Amino acid sequence: MEYTYLGRTGLKVSRFCLGTMNFGTSTSEKDAFYIMDKAVDAGINFFDTADAYGGFAGEGEHGLTEKIIGKWFAQGGKRRERVILATKVFATMEEPLEGPNDEDGLSAWKVRRHMEDSLKRLQTDHVDLYYMHHIDRHVTWPEMWGVMEVLVNSGKATYIASSNFAGHDLVRAQWEADKRHFLGLVAEQHQYHLLSRLPELEVIPAARELGLGFVTYSPLAGGMLGENALKRLSGSRGENRHYSEAMIKTLTDFADFCRELGEKQSDVAMAWILKNPVVTSPLIGPRTPEHLDNILHALDVKLDDSAMKRLDEIFPGPGGEAPDSYAW
């Protein structure tokens, strides 16, 4: 396994981050335990979850994924010590006792309360990375950084990070943190893949300039960059009515190019993300142990300049060729 620093911190994390969103919904507790053991044995030390996972899609139980991870830690074997653990706060937890405050947001009251609940579910006394899952424009930065400083100073969170922030949000967050002589953000987690290159315009340059780690989610675009995408799109007219001919052509060209390389679409898509030096780790979300084995192969896929150029032709960046100031 390869490792890299998380932004400008001294913390080294694996090039793959194990996403656990499927645990408790698409993945049973037994399989989740096996996947986590297998990931650690493969050298993956970076785990990602969120307080709402398990019921995040409107079904199941909010907090279930954190509970499963906590049970895995409780088995012992230095499992907790081997993991750089990240969780998130923002979404509703459908907790009746919170009354009108049971809504999406980042009030200081909610952040402190939800951190305590996450620690109980995770069966640990701290998380290594605490994400603000989204920006909350109802909360001032003095309120936000005030509560985050309490969490860091009490040892309940080692680092603070953001997710789904715009470029200007990252800049404002760090400016406000600097005024308080506080470290502020160390990473941004954002959707980024061959079909979604918009972050190259502002978010990636901002993260690079500020020295933030950049963790990406949905690297396969929800399966659109995987091996079975075209089979689904070429099914009944009802299945592909939402996809344009241009999209089908793009994915066909991509599949043809991957065959030329002798690699699977999913591996090439993942290797393309890993090629970007700004990216710390893409989130991988294996639903089965077999998925994890398949994903790890992407680390061995090497894309040369000509391959990267061809991928740029198939999946143009925002507005076509990016200005020099946005170059990797």
pLDDT of residue 71: 98
Average pLDDT over residues 284-302: 89
Q: Regarding the domain with residue range 1-312, which homologous superfamily does it belong to in the CATH classification?
A: NADP-dependent oxidoreductase domain (3.20.20.100)
Confidence of residue 236 (pLDDT cuts 50, 70, 90): very low
Confidence of residue 74 (pLDDT cuts 50, 70, 90): very high
Strand partners, 127: 157
Inter-residue contact 221 to 191 (CB < 8 Å): no
Rounded Cα–Cα distance for residues 42 and 293 (Å): 9
pLDDT of residue 82: 97
Delimit the domains of the chain by residue range: 1-312
pLDDT of residue 326: 47
Residue 320 has pLDDT above 80, yes or no: no
Given the residues 3, 5, 34, 53, the one annotated as active site: 53
pLDDT in tens, 250-269: 999 999 999 999 999 999 99
pLDDT of residue 242: 62
Residue 177 has pLDDT above 60, yes or no: yes
Residue 282 has pLDDT above 70, yes or no: yes
Average pLDDT over residues 181-191: 97
Output the average pLDDT for the chain.
91
pLDDT of residue 325: 47
Which parts of the chain fold into alpha helices (H)? Answer: 29-41, 64-74, 108-122, 141-153, 167-179, 203-210, 229-233, 237-240, 245-261, 265-275, 289-296, 305-314
- Active-site annotation holds for 53: yes
Residue 164 has pLDDT above 60, yes or no: yes
Rounded Cα–Cα distance for residues 82 and 85 (Å): 9
Rounded Cα–Cα distance for residues 326 and 200 (Å): 7
Average pLDDT over residues 120-145: 97
